[in-house]
């Protein structure tokens, strides 16, 4: 863990409102890139994906047969825009790209051709995508081996805390609704829990870090680590960071780690921001860096101006 004062320069360049991206992205850089997070598209080889209503009307045997035929693949925003007949542009918003009605669910939308598009992840970059971006970043700083990573403190089980664990340890889960109801009642038992004292519940990070100082920014608080930007150009960076989720691995999950909320080199030549509520990552830096990122065919990226509005209703082109 690093001294939060190393991030003071970021705080000084942020706005105190969210009217533009500068509530989370520092001002004062000559150029900015917006890197769109991939979506997921689900299709069936020989037919349109059934709507929810159509699926409910299918016989159970047919549901089981179809379930094994679904194909899920990464999708670009350009592919989604083509499927929905909308326009992709630097300030596009996903809900507009997939023509979400006012009261509709933008997370899953079915295109006219029957394919089902699921929204991009927010606030998170896949390891290989971060590695592709970092490969450009390290070529545009004098300090590729010295820098900082900030992680938003609100992510899942990253930090430990004082709390009450239900008797017998963490709650179990079952497919039996009656058994699950009993477990739920025991977990929230008001008669027994009041007599138990809160104890320290371990997180991914140590207690020292969990209780340590934070980098306090206008919109979020973060824990700060010293980290060489060069390390993130390796797609296997998740194996080496101190916030690797080893607890999940013990339960059979593959190695994983939260991607940086912010990443910058010691010389402040650039900064990468993956805001928790953004379905894109912003890089601020030199024009040459932004040009390189936008030219990379592995990434779907656009140059955007300082002061860009990336709020929910900012896409005026696709209204």
In a domain, 280, yes or no: yes
97 or 158, higher pLDDT: 97
In a domain, 311, yes or no: no
- The answer to whether 244 and 256 are in contact (CB under 8 A) is yes
Model confidence at 189: pLDDT above 50: yes
Tokens for 115? 């394919």
In a domain, 28, yes or no: yes
- The answer to whether 174 and 211 are in contact (CB under 8 A) is no
Least confident of 32-46, 155-169, 297-311: 155-169
177 with 214, same domain: the answer is no
In a domain, 309, yes or no: no
263 with 211, same domain: the answer is yes
136 with 210, same domain: the answer is yes
Structural domain for 274, as ranges: 4-37+123-160+202-304
DSSP H or E run through 42: strand 39-43
The sheet carrying 280-285 orders its strands as: 215-216, 221-226, 147-152, 262-265, 271-273, 280-285, 31-36, 301-304
Model confidence at 188: pLDDT above 60: no
DSSP H or E run through 285: strand 280-285
Domain count, the chain: 3
317 or 168, higher pLDDT: 317
Model confidence at 166: pLDDT above 60: no
207 with 230, same domain: the answer is yes
Least confident of 59-63, 171-175, 207-211, 313-317: 171-175
293 with 238, same domain: the answer is yes
239 with 137, same domain: the answer is yes
Q: Tell me which residue of 260, 243, 275 sits closest to 157, measured CA to CA.
A: 243
Cβ neighbors of 195 (< 8 A, separation 6 or more) are none
186 with 206, same domain: the answer is no
What pTM did the predictor assign?
0.84
pLDDT for the residue 172: 46
14 with 139, same domain: the answer is yes
Phi-psi region for residue 114, left (φ > 0), alpha (ψ -120 to 50) or beta?
A: left
32 with 46, same domain: the answer is no
Model confidence at 6: pLDDT above 80: yes
In a domain, 316, yes or no: no
């Amino acid at each position: 863990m690093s001294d939060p004062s190393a991030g003071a320069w970021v705080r000084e360049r942020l706005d105190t409102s969210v009217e533009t991206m500068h509530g989370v992205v520092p001002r004062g850089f000559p150029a900015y890139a917006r890197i769109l997070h991939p979506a997921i598209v689900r299709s069936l080889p020989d037919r349109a994906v059934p709507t929810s209503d159509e699926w409910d009307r299918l016989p159970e045997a047919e549901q089981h047969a179809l379930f094994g035929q679904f194909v899920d693949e990464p999708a670009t925003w350009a592919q989604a825009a083509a499927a929905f007949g909308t326009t992709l542009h630097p300030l596009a918003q996903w809900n507009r790209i997939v023509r979400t009605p006012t009261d509709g669910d933008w997370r899953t939308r079915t295109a006219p051709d029957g394919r089902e598009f699921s929204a991009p992840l927010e606030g998170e970059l896949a390891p290989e995508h971060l590695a592709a971006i970092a490969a450009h970043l390290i070529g545009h700083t004098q300090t590729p081996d010295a820098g900082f990573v900030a992680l938003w403190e609100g992510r899942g089980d990253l930090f430990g805390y004082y709390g009450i664990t239900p008797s017998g340890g963490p709650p179990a889960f079952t497919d039996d609704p009656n058994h699950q109801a009993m477990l739920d009642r025991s977990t929230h038992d008001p008669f027994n829990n009041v007599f138990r004292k809160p104890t320290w519940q371990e997180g991914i990070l140590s207690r020292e870090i969990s209780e340590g100082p934070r980098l306090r920014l206008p919109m979020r608080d973060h824990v700060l680590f010293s980290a060489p930007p060069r390390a993130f150009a390796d797609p296997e960076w998740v194996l080496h960071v101190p916030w690797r989720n080893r607890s999940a691995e013990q339960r059979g999950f593959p190695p994983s780690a939260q991607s940086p909320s912010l990443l910058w080199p010691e010389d402040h030549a650039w900064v990468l921001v993956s805001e928790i509520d953004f379905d894109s990552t912003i890089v601020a830096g030199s024009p040459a860096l932004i040009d390189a990122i936008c030219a990379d065919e592995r990434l779907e990226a656009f140059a955007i101006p300082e002061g860009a509005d990336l709020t929910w209703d900012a896409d005026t082109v696709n209204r």
